[in-house]
């Protein structure tokens, strides 16, 4: 249903769709206030990083060179797509807003159209991007879900290749007891009780979900500090370090508090008056997705607060009726303790210029090389040890259970 009070941009899209009849057409606009207000109005399914909330927060806090595309088919808008244009060396790339923070991507779309979507439809939108912005060399749709709630990802109508990083998830079918029977549940329960006793020596553990701005900011403060320490120990660039990224996540999670059923939620495990583990999650259909998590590297690290928090998070997700607990991108031992689903995301590279075709070839080669390395356990373990050694701290000294 179209909101009759929607802004002029919303109405303009409707008029355009009606005027083009059964043709498949696309409109690509700069991210103006009106265009942002219209974004996603005609859609009823999307992944978290293509939600109106994510798009608005990223544009407000990062001020990217953003464009919004709307695809219309059979006289009505059917898909919205938000991209940011960034420079990578001599190339200009259009990618999902948020860069590497945007995972498990699926555009905002009308679910009733998805089964009929074709490669020609998506190509119409890609060509419209090239016409509107001839300076763009390549459109990169990275880390795409193959489907969302069983509905096919329309962007995968274009040729694709597997992403180099797996995502892991837990099948919640049958509830938490069923999950435990599949994942050494007796051992997990025993360890959970043992951890609880250790926490009681410091006054007990308190798991909370942020419901106020103060709580959300306190959890994010703790999370950013944990990540800074952890990434430093591993010799990895801290992707949460930039001011605009931190401001974005603060806005995203704080603004979500205004909703009765927020799409983005924070959970924290507090022991002895200090957050020892924090997770940030999103809700997408039947999935609860752990977008990020961290633990504090302190005197309680040996008691695995992250493991304790995930136990309760997964239990709660079962109680809330979710079908999948998604750990998102990254293959780590602490995830393997729970997960029985491997999710292979896919990448679509659509060159718009000769330069873009050259760059796409390079990116595909790099992606294949990463896949080879990460699928070789010995080589990947060696690289992680060498990377940590650059910072002077052995990898084994860091807690293994946060992403």
- Which segments in the chain show pLDDT lower than 50? 1-7, 391-403
The pLDDT assigned to 364 comes to 86
The pLDDT assigned to 326 comes to 98
The pLDDT assigned to 375 comes to 65
In what order do the strands lie in the sheet containing 324-329?
205-209, 264-271, 274-284, 287-295, 324-329, 167-171, 341-343
The pLDDT assigned to 385 comes to 65
Specify the pTM. Answer: 0.88
């Amino acid at each position: 249903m179209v909101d009759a009070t929607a802004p002029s941009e919303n109405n303009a899209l409707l008029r355009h769709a009606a005027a083009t009849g059964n043709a498949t057409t696309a409109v690509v606009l700069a991210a103006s206030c009106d265009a942002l207000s219209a974004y996603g109005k005609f859609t009823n399914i999307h992944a978290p990083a293509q939600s109106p909330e994510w798009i608005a927060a990223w544009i407000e806090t990062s001020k990217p060179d953003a464009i919004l595309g709307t695809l219309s088919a059979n006289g009505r808008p059917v898909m919205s797509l938000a991209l940011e244009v960034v420079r990578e060396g001599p190339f200009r790339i259009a990618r999902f807003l948020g860069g590497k923070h945007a995972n498990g991507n699926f555009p905002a779309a009308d679910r009733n159209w998805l089964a009929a979507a074709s490669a020609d439809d998506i190509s119409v939108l890609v060509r419209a991007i090239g016409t509107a912005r001839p300076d763009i060399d390549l459109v990169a749709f990275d880390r795409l879900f193959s489907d969302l709630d069983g509905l096919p990802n329309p962007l995968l109508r274009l040729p694709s290749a597997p992403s180099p990083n797996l995502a892991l998830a837990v099948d919640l079918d049958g509830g938490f007891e069923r999950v435990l029977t599949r994942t050494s549940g007796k051992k997990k329960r025993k360890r959970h009780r043992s951890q609880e006793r250790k926490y009681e020596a410091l006054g007990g553990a308190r798991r909370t979900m942020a419901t106020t701005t103060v709580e959300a900011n306190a959890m994010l403060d703790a999370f950013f500090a944990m990540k800074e320490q952890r990434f430093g120990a591993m010799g990895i660039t801290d992707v949460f370090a930039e001011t605009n990224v931190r401001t974005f996540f603060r806005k995203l999670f704080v603004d979500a508090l205004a909703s009765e059923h927020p799409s983005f939620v924070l959970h924290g495990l507090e022991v002895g008056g200090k957050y020892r583990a924090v997770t940030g999650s999103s809700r997408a259909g039947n999935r609860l997705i752990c977008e990020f998590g961290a633990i504090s590297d302190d005197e309680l690290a040996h008691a695995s607060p992250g493991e304790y928090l995930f136990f309760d998070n997964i239990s709660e997700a079962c109680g809330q009726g979710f079908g999948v607990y998604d750990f998102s991108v990254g293959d780590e031992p602490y995830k393997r303790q729970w997960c029985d689903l491997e999710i292979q995301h896919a990448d679509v590279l659509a060159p718009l210029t000769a330069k873009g075709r050259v760059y796409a070839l390079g990116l595909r080669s790099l992606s294949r090389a990463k896949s080879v390395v990460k699928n070789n356990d010995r080589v990947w373990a060696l690289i992680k040890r060498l990377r940590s050694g650059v910072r002077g701290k052995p990898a084994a000294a860091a807690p293994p259970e946060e992403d």
